[in-house]
């Protein structure tokens, strides 16, 4: 099995030459990436449609615009991010230069998933390039049309000495992981994440894991149910539910549920019309395997379908579906659904909802819909999750100022904007001293005395600077 060690060696040699470090180079590659997207929009959209039947609208928003925004943001802020960060000093270092310098790590590996094959591959790439690294880019083999487009376009626009695309499946990835990388950035499932960590451990390679889980959505009774239904439906059925931050299931009281179901019915009609299967604004499930998996969950479910439920195997279509009377131990509650099935589970209070969420693994995102800010605050304070959004969904990941990442079973590390730059950088502590003040240094040398010690304690305490 091809380990690509020759390719790795080439990238390592390039990195050693220092060519990726200057701001000018990073800027040029980021700009090239911009051009790649701008010049190949049709091709990319075509591939996304082939792989996922992604509606053009969704593709533009969630696969192109988001990457373009990130690129613009990086280009605007790169110089700032690259600046040495001067830190506060103690008396002992008062006349020294003390700062943190961000340095590239070297050769990094980015492994992308299939649900947003452009966005979730290129957004980390922006951070890696901005930080001055060479990158091995591994797109998902599941979305084969996009894989081919990436393999074709990257070498055309980015420097082939610095950036390489490696294609393949699980076996090829395993072989690739035998190489030493300076960082591995993985987006995908927990089981694969474990094997990546196991491959990284003997080489002491730092890793960022962007995983998933079941993102809960608590809908409180004090809420504009129609507005909530709009936002809930949009975030749930976008990409036909195949988003790591899609609201996986809803928690609400019986009364709220009874208002929510007709509201959702109305919204689904508005969004997708009478015959959703014919609506071009709905994506499709990525593969027969996943279609079968989701339909299997539906088949085993003890819940009752109140909206949707239709499906078509040939076109990998599943209708936007809502279920009620779903028990806690239902098949739908055993794994991340990653599809257009929305179970509504009932709780009797906010506290019960909080306990329900806290009895489960920490999710990538947690949502609350309520007009009552004390309810929002309570849920916020008493739960943990990668990210939190009230009265909306998904959109928190479109803000480049916010770090995007998980906690616990949903992953560790983060990116977006400056956070991506930092993830792919080493924060090197730098202390530049002079030859003067050797007398002061003398306090630390043996033979030790009480007197020296008390002076020394004073000069190294953070308080001592305020006197000067």
Partner 1 sequence: LSRERQANIRARQAFLSGRARPLEFRLQQLHALMKMIKERESDIATALKQDLNRSQYDTPLLELTGLENDIKMAINKLAVWAAPRPVERSVLTLRDQVYVQPQPLGVVLIIGAWNYPWALTLGPLIGAIAAGNAAVVKPSELSECSSLLLRALLPRYLDKDLYPVVPGGVSETQELLRQRWEHIFYTGSSSVGRLVMEAAAAHLTPVTLELGGKSPCYVHPDCNIRVAARRITWGKFVNCGQTCIAPDYVLCDPSVQNQLIECIRLTLLEFYGADPKSSPDYGRIINQRHFNRIMSLMEGYTPVIGGQSDASQRYIAPTVLRDVPPQSRLMQEEIFGPVLPLVAVSDIDDAIRFINEREKPLALYVFCTDQKGIDKMLEETSSGGILINDVLMHYTLNSLPFGGVGQSGMGRYHGKHSFDQLSHHRSCLVRSLTMESVHLSRHVAPHFHLGRHLVLVLVWSQISSTVQSPVRVSCGSL
Tell which positions 356-385 bind partner 1, by CB under 8 A.
369, 371, 373, 376-377, 380-381, 384-385
457 binds partner 1 (CB under 8 A): yes
Size of the site for partner 1 (CB under 8 A): 113
Q: Nearest approach, Cβ of 28 to partner 1 (angstroms)? A: 20
347 binds partner 1 (CB under 8 A): no
Largest CA distance in the chain: 89
- Given the rule CB under 8 A, which of 6-14, 204-212, 287-295, 301-309 is the region that contacts partner 1? 204-212
Report the residue from 27, 50, 89, 293 that binds partner 1 according to the rule CB under 8 A. 89
Residue 98 appears among annotated catalytic residues: no
* 280: exposed, middle or buried (Cβ count in 10 Å: 0-12, 13-18, 19+): exposed
CA angle 108, 113, 119 (to 5 degrees): 80
Residues in 48-77 that interact with partner 1 by CB under 8 A: 55-58, 60-61, 65-66, 69, 72-73, 76
Report the residue from 144, 221, 271, 356 that binds partner 1 according to the rule CB under 8 A. 271
392 binds partner 1 (CB under 8 A): yes
223 binds partner 1 (CB under 8 A): yes
Q: Nearest approach, Cβ of 29 to partner 1 (angstroms)? A: 20
Nearer residue to partner 1 within complex by CB, 182 or 248: 182
Residues in 138-167 that interact with partner 1 by CB under 8 A: none
Report the residue from 5, 32, 159, 441 that binds partner 1 according to the rule CB under 8 A. 441
- Residue from 244, 252, 389, 422 carrying the catalytic annotation: 244
Q: Nearest approach, Cβ of 93 to partner 1 (angstroms)? A: 6
306's enclosing H/E stretch is: strand 304-307
Q: Let me know: does 322 contact 235? Beta carbons within 8 Å.
A: no
What's the first-to-final CA gap in the chain, in angstroms? Answer: 64
280 binds partner 1 (CB under 8 A): yes
438 binds partner 1 (CB under 8 A): yes
Q: Let me know: does 282 contact 55? Beta carbons within 8 Å.
A: yes
Axis crossing angle, helix 66-82 with helix 23-39, rounded to the nearest 10: 170
Residue 86 has, within 13 A of its CA and on its CB side, a CA count of 8
Contacts of 374 (CB under 8 A, 6+ apart): none
- Residue from 63, 70, 147, 210 carrying the catalytic annotation: 210
Axis crossing angle, helix 23-39 with helix 41-52, rounded to the nearest 10: 70
H helix count then E strand count, the chain = 18, 18
Residue 313 appears among annotated catalytic residues: no
254: helix, coil or strand?
Answer: helix
Q: Nearest approach, Cβ of 199 to partner 1 (angstroms)? A: 9
25: helix, coil or strand?
Answer: helix
- Given the rule CB under 8 A, which of 36-44, 169-177, 326-334, 390-398 is the region that contacts partner 1? 390-398
Catalytic residues: 210, 244
């Amino acid at each position: 099995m091809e380990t690509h060690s020759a390719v790795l060696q080439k990238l390592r040699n390039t990195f050693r030459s220092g060519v990726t470090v200057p701001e000018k180079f990073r800027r040029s590659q980021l700009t090239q990436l911009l051009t790649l997207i701008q010049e190949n929009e049709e091709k990319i959209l075509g591939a996304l449609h082939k792989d996922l039947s992604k509606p053009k609208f969704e593709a533009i928003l969630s696969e192109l615009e988001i990457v373009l925004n990130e690129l613009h943001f990086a280009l605007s802020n790169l110089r700032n991010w690259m600046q040495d960060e001067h830190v506060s000093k103690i008396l002992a270092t008062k006349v020294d230069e003390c700062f943190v310098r961000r340095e590239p790590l070297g050769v990094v590996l980015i492994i992308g998933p299939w649900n947003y094959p452009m966005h979730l591959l290129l957004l980390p790439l922006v951070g890696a390039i901005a930080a001055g690294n060479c990158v091995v880019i591994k797109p998902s083999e599941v979305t084969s049309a996009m894989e081919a487009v990436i393999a074709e376009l990257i070498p055309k626009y980015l420097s082939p000495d610095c950036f390489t695309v490696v294609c393949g499946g699980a076996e090829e990835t395993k072989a690739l992981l035998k190489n030493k990388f300076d960082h591995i950035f993985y987006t995908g499932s927990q089981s694969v994440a474990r094997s990546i960590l196991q491959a990284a451990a003997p080489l002491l390679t730092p890793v960022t894991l962007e995983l998933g889980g079941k993102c809960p959505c608590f809908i409180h009774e004090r809420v504009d149910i129609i507005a909530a239904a709009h936002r809930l439906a949009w975030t749930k059925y976008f990409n036909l539910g195949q988003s790591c931050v899609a609201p996986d299931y809803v928690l609400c009281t019986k009364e709220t549920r009874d208002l929510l179901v007709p509201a959702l019915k109305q919204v689904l009609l508005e969004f997708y019309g009478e015959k959703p299967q014919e609506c071009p604004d709905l994506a499709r499930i990525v593969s027969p395997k996943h279609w079968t998996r989701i339909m299997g969950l539906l088949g085993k479910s003890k819940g009752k379908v109140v909206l949707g439920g239709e499906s078509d195997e040939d076109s990998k279509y599943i209708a936007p579906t809502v279920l009620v009377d779903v028990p806690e131990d239902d098949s739908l509650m055993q794994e991340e659904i990653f599809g257009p099935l929305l179970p509504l589970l009932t709780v009797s209070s906010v506290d019960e909802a909080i306990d329900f969420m806290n009895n489960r693994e920490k999710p990538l995102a947690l949502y609350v819909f309520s007009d009552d800010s004390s309810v929002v605050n309570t849920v916020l304070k008493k739960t943990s999750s990668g990210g939190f959004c009230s009265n909306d969904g998904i959109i928190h990941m479109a803000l480049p100022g916010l770090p995007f990442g998980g906690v616990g079973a949903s992953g560790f590390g983060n990116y977006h904007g400056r956070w991506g730059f930092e993830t792919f950088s080493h924060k090197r502590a730098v202390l530049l001293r002079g030859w003067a003040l050797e007398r002061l240094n003398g306090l630390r040398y043996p033979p030790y005395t009480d007197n020296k010690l008390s002076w020394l304690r004073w000069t190294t305490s953070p308080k001592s600077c305020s006197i000067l």
